[in-house]
Amino acid sequence: MIRIAFAAALALGAIASSAQAMPLAPYGAQGRGDVIAVAGGCGTGWHRGPYGGCLRNYADPAAHACPRGYHIGPGGGCRGNGK
């Protein structure tokens, strides 16, 4: 009987309390101008790599065996993407 009363009081307290951990902003409110959005904390022109480090968003074309739009296929030859 005590367990049921305790559970009911706990449930009622959880439902009745109105904690506002994140209050809603009014409709049409704009963000502050001093906040700069960055991609994953790396900054403009960078992104997070597979192990959490920052990597550049572009690749060096000289470092690739095949031109843009192609990949290395079976046998080591360049094949068009999607084929």
pLDDT band with cut points at 50, 70 and 90 for residue 18: low
Please report the pLDDT score of residue 72 as a whole number.
Answer: 83
Provide the domain count of the chain: 1
What is the Cα–Cα distance from 78 to 83, expressed in whole angstroms?
A: 11
- Domain-embedded: residue 73: yes
Please report the pLDDT score of residue 33 as a whole number.
Answer: 65
Domain region containing 56: 36-83
Length of the chain: 83
- Domain-embedded: residue 8: no
Q: CB of 77 within 8 A of CB of 71?
A: no
- Domain-embedded: residue 48: yes
- Domain-embedded: residue 25: no
Please report the pLDDT score of residue 28 as a whole number.
Answer: 61
Please report the pLDDT score of residue 74 as a whole number.
Answer: 84
Q: What is the pTM of this model?
A: 0.28
For 54-81, the pLDDT digits (tens) are: 888 776 666 677 887 888 888 888 888 8
Q: For residue 8, give Cα distances in angstroms to 1, 35, 68, 69.
A: 11, 45, 65, 64
Please report the pLDDT score of residue 42 as a whole number.
Answer: 82
- Domain-embedded: residue 19: no
- Domain-embedded: residue 14: no
